[in-house]
Chains A and B, each alone.
Chain A
Amino acid sequence: MSFLLRRLGFYLLAFWASITLNFLLPRLMPGDPVTRMLSRSQQRLEPQQVEALRTLMGVDGGPIIPEYFAYLGRILTGDFGMSISRFPTPVSEVIASQLPWTLLLGLTSLIIAVILGNLLGILAAWRRGGFLDSIAPPLLVFIGSFPYFWLAMGALYIFGINMGVAPMRHAFSVGLVPGFNLVFILDVAAHLILPALTIVLVSLGGWMLGMRNTMIATNSEDYILMAEAKGLRPHRIMLNYAARNAMLPSVTSMGMSIGFIVGGALLTEVVFAYPGVGYQLLGAVQGLDYPLMQGMFLTITAAVLIANFLVDLVYVRLDPRVRKG
């Protein structure tokens, strides 16, 4: 339990740091960000927007400490301010409408990549020097060297434009009414294929290599030797003894890579115009919608922290040495 509590405390600290960063960033920039923004955007902003912006940027004068606590209070109640590009929609609403799609894409890709990658890694380590062990790793590393979004572009081009087999944009076909019916679900699934495939392909190499190397290290442990001496069947040793132990470092690093996968997912969304947070982020950047950008940053960070905590829960379940006796 103390393990989990410590992790929770750590996540809260990280979240607090992100909030503080959000608060400080506009105030740390040289010059008056609002004016800079106005001149850059060439967009005529209404007085309320400018006012909201000033409050957000904290350039309406006034002492910093009380402002900070006011900001903290607002964030914790879910008030991220108003979006500039979609004035006067609150940022929280804008994000809430896109978050589900990103979660769908991210979780699907993550689960597939993790399961497939780890399985391949286990098999590769089990038969050293075999096909999986020698060909797959360099191949997957090569594929993983491509930037996520470039592979997305490639996939889009090959499967979407050239071969025309998969939907190319958006989460579901235009004109279809969202609802929990089979037609809609299948349509959504079809639109998921290309983006998810891209993310899986790029991250597969990492999972596989990681699991493989961990398995190789585990395979030299004494309890594996003892399991062999006991005359147990090979696949039992591979699964119950080796993989079961190798999973632990695997799970640990899964937590860390969630943050990274999120980045890749965001970029992939941009390419496929998948209406998730990532795609929105592009629009926010181009529209210099600072409140929206900040809100997204916090939301994404929170999601990553929650995911990490969930991973920790899984880890505690898997490793009896961490549970307090």
Chain B
Amino acid sequence: MSVPVLEVQELTVEYVSDERAVRGADRVSFTIHAGEIFGLAGESGCGKSTIANSIMRLLKDPARITHGKILFDGKDVLGMDEAELRAWRWNNVAMVFQSAMNSLNPVTRIGEQFVDVIRTHRGGTRATAMQRAEELLKMVRIDPARLRAYPHQLSGGQRQRIVIAMACALNPRLLILDEPTTALDVVVQQEILEQIRDLQNELGFAILFITHDMSLMLELSNRIGIMYGGRIVELAPSRILHHDSRHPYTQALLGAFPPLHGPKVKLTGLAEGVKFTNVQDLEDHGDGHWVAPTDQPVLSQGEAL
């Protein structure tokens, strides 16, 4: 097996304040291989965004990485100095943030925002950088004339595509998508997902896909990790997770999205007051299926109404 694109080992992120330290991510480990789509799912506050931001070391005080390793193509990301890190960012890993409107500089034209990142990493003239920008816009099916526009002049869907195009600008090996469609309506969501799949086929990057929308996750990802309270509670290829989830939290999460077909059943969820504290390390159930052991009962299927 070749070296995986991303290897996260026992990553722990703490938010340190005067009174105490809160663990945003607690000994999280997972691996992403070349060209693979890996999904990280969980409810708000479970730590998935923390993980995403820590890979590129974007977290600010009072967050600090207190344990673990991040290896990218075998290189130790946490050991890089400022200059190395800057050169490494966007070239190897790029990120699409949740709200495209907020991630674009509101007072600069779109074209400029492509040019600055292209020229910083690849050098060259403005003209060549603009050319590359035009190519990228064509890839996401947006009229290159839009390069002269300001962010507020574009629609939500257009902005998201542009931000995705920007992420692909330097042909990174890994793309981190942090809730890329949450702010968009369902129709546009579909288009964006199509776009992402097309790009992935063409450019061959791996994806770390973060969302709380399980149905989206199941549709897109090859493998999925379920997070709860900063820890991963289940990790499996998506098909296995869909049909044979073993951890009660995963089942509750899946159960929260009622199917459109089939008999009418009550929604299954976690029983009142159920919390998972002290989640233990994952156990191997074979076929790449890892589950955190728990003494909470496995949830039964809901009764038919």
Contacts and interface: CB of A to CB of B under 8 A. Distances in A.
B131 interface: no
A320 B117 CA distance: 22
Contacts of B99: 222
Interface string B68-111: 00000000000000000111111100110101001111111000
Given A231-B86, A231-B121, A223 B150 contact: no
Interface of A: 221-223, 225-233, 236, 240-241, 244-245, 248, 318-321, 325
Contact of A221 (B56, B102, B166): B102
B120 A232 contact: yes
A321 B109 CA distance: 11
Interface of B: 56, 58, 85-91, 94-95, 97, 99, 102-108, 116-117, 120-121, 150, 152-153, 166
3 nearest CB pairs, A to B: A231-B89, A222-B102, A226-B103
A222 B103 contact: yes
Given A226-B97, A321-B150, A233 B86 contact: yes
Contact of B97 (A222, A231, A245): A222
A231 B57 CA distance: 11
Contact of A229 (B56, B105, B116): B56
A75 to B, nearest CB: 40
Given A229-B89, A321-B150, A223 B103 contact: yes
The interface centre, meaning the residue of A225, A227, A241 with most chain B CB atoms within 10 A of its CB, is A225
Nearest to B101: A222
7 contacts: A223-B106, A227-B105, A230-B90, A231-B86, A231-B90, A244-B108, A245-B105
Contacts of A223: 102-106
Nearest to A231: B89
Contacts of B108: 240-241, 244
B120 A245 contact: no
Contacts of A228: 58, 89
A231 B87 contact: yes
Given A225-B97, A325-B153, A232 B106 contact: no
A222 B99 CA distance: 8
Contacts of B89: 228-231
B103 A241 contact: no
A319 B107 contact: yes
Contacts of B107: 244-245, 248, 318-321
